[in-house]
Structure 1
Amino acid sequence: MKKLIYFGLFFCLHICVAQSDADYGNTMKTIIESYNANDAQKIFDQFSTDLQATFTIDKVKEFVTKTLENQGKFSEFDFMDNDGGNRYLVQSESDSIILVITLSADLKLTKFAVE
C-alpha cells in the first residue's frame, strides 16, 4: 500500500512540475514566430523574472535584429537533446543555430542561449 501511495505522489508531482515536449514545442513555435515578426518584446515576455534581470529587453532586441540581418528568418526547428537544457537546431534562410531553452514549472523561460 505504501508503494502505491508513493507512486501516486511521485506521479502527481511529476505531472505538476514537469514540462512536456508539447510545452517546449509550443514555446519554440512562439519564439520562432516572434523572431520572424521582429517582436523582441514577445520573446522577452516569455522570460522568467530572473532571466529578464540578466537578459534585458535591449539585449533581446539586439539579438533579434542582428540575427535577422545576418541569417534571415527562421524556418523550422528540430529537437536535438536535453544536455544542459533542451537544445534545438534552428534553420534559417542562410544558416542554422543551436538554441538552448529551459522552462520553469510555470512555463517561463529560465534559459535562453545560442550555441
Structure 2
Amino acid sequence: MRKIIFFSLFFCLHIGVAQTDVDYESTMKTIVASYNANDSQKIFDQFSTDLQASFTLDKVKEFITKNMDSQGKFSEFDLMDQDEGYRYLVQSDSDSVILVIKLSPDLKLTKFLIE
C-alpha cells in the first residue's frame, strides 16, 4: 500500500512541475506564428525574466528582421532531440534552421537560440 501511495504522490508531483512535449509544441507554434507575423512582443513575453534581461525586445526585433530577410517565413518544425533543451528543425521559405528552446516549470522560455 505504501508503494502505491508513494508512486501516486511522485506521479502527481512529476506531472505538476514537468513540462511535456505538448507544452513545447504549443510554445513552438506560438513562436512560429509570432515570428511570421513579425510580432516580437509576443515572443518576448514568453521569455523568463532572466532571458528578458539578456535577450531584450530590441534584440528580438533584430532577430526577426535579420532572419526574415535571409530565411523568409517559418513554415513547419520537427523535433530533433531533447538534449539540453528541445532542438527543432525549422523549415523556412529558403532554408532550414535549428531552434533550441527550454522551458521553466512555469512554461516561460529560459533558452532561445538558433544553431
TM-score tier, shorter chain, comes to over 0.9
| Mapping of residues 88-99 of structure 1, within 5 Å | 88-99=88-99
Match of 1:55 in 2: 55
CA distance in 2, matches of 1:114, 1:77: 13
**Count of residues in Structure 1 that have an aligned counterpart in Structure 2:** 115
Query: Which runs of 5 or more structure 2 residues have no equivalent in the other structure?
Result: none
Match of 2:78 in 1: 78
TM-align CA RMSD: 0.8
| Mapping of residues 1-115 of structure 1, within 5 Å | 1-115=1-115
Amino acid of the residue matched to residue 56 of structure 2? T
CA distance in 2, matches of 1:13, 1:52: 28
TM-score, with structure 1 as normaliser: 0.97
SS in 1 for 2:69: helix
Cα offset, 1:34, TM superposition: 0.3
TM-score, with structure 2 as normaliser: 0.97
Query: Which runs of 5 or more structure 1 residues have no equivalent in the other structure?
Result: none
Deviation track 1:18-64 (CA, whole Å, cap 9, x = no partner) reads 11111111100000000001111100000011110111111111100
CA distance in 1, matches of 2:6, 2:100: 33
CA distance in 2, matches of 1:13, 1:81: 25
Cα offset, 1:8, TM superposition: 1.3
SS in 1 for 2:23: helix
CA distance in 2, matches of 1:12, 1:104: 18
